[in-house]
Structure 1
Amino acid sequence: MIYEIALLPVHIGKTEAFRQAFAEVEPLLRRAKGYGGHLLAPGIETPEVFNLIVRWQSLEDHTPGFEASEDHRLFMLGLEEYFAEEPKVYHIEGGAFAQPFN
């Protein structure tokens, strides 16, 4: 299991419209092969930067899987007008969350 972490910078003043747009395209993400849940939350210090954390069964399920799909194209098409800049995406091993915090 892996986690995709995406930082989604949204234009100031467009955060509520972004939330609504995300809700509309969310089913495209939920039906992706290997999808295991997600969390979307704005930053406390930077409320215009949303943090999207998606649990995937494998890295391949996310990329090339979902990212190469028509559903991903439609997902991004529904959100791209709200981005102030290109989102940053990276991945971490799921086992990191199984370990206790020090």
Structure 2
Amino acid sequence: MVYEIAVLPVHLERTEAFKRAFSQVEPLLTRAEGYGGHLLAQGIESPEQFNLIVRWRSLKDHSPGFEQSDDHQRFMQGLEAYFSAAPNVYHVEGGAFPGF
């Protein structure tokens, strides 16, 4: 199991609009090959920072898979106007928290 972690910096005054925009493009993510679930979490101390954590079956399912798809292009086009800087994306390997 591979997790994509995307740190999404959003203009503070646009956080509510960003959440609405994300819900509009979310189906583009959830129908991707190898998609296994996701969590979009807003920062508490820094509410303008969102963390998108996506579980992928393999790294190839995310990159190049989803990242090179038309759905990814439309996904990003639906969100890019809300970003205050470029998102930072990286991957980790592992399983779920013990006991969950």
Superposition TM-score, scaled by structure 1 size: 0.93
1:23-57 CA-to-partner distances (Å, cap 9, x unmatched) read 00000000000000000011111110000000000
Matched length: 99
Structure 1 residues without counterparts, runs of 5 or longer: none
State the superposition RMSD in angstroms. 1.2
Spell out structure 1 runs of 4+ moving beyond 6 A: none
Counterpart-to-counterpart distance in 1, 2:94 and 2:19: 26
Percent identity over paired residues: 68
What residue is the counterpart of 2:89 in the other structure? 89
Structure 2 residues without counterparts, runs of 5 or longer: none
What residue is the counterpart of 2:42 in the other structure? 42
1:43-90 CA-to-partner distances (Å, cap 9, x unmatched) read 111110000000000000000000000000000000000000000000
What residue is the counterpart of 1:78 in the other structure? 78
SS at the partner of 1:14? helix
Superposition TM-score, scaled by structure 2 size: 0.95
What residue is the counterpart of 1:21 in the other structure? 21
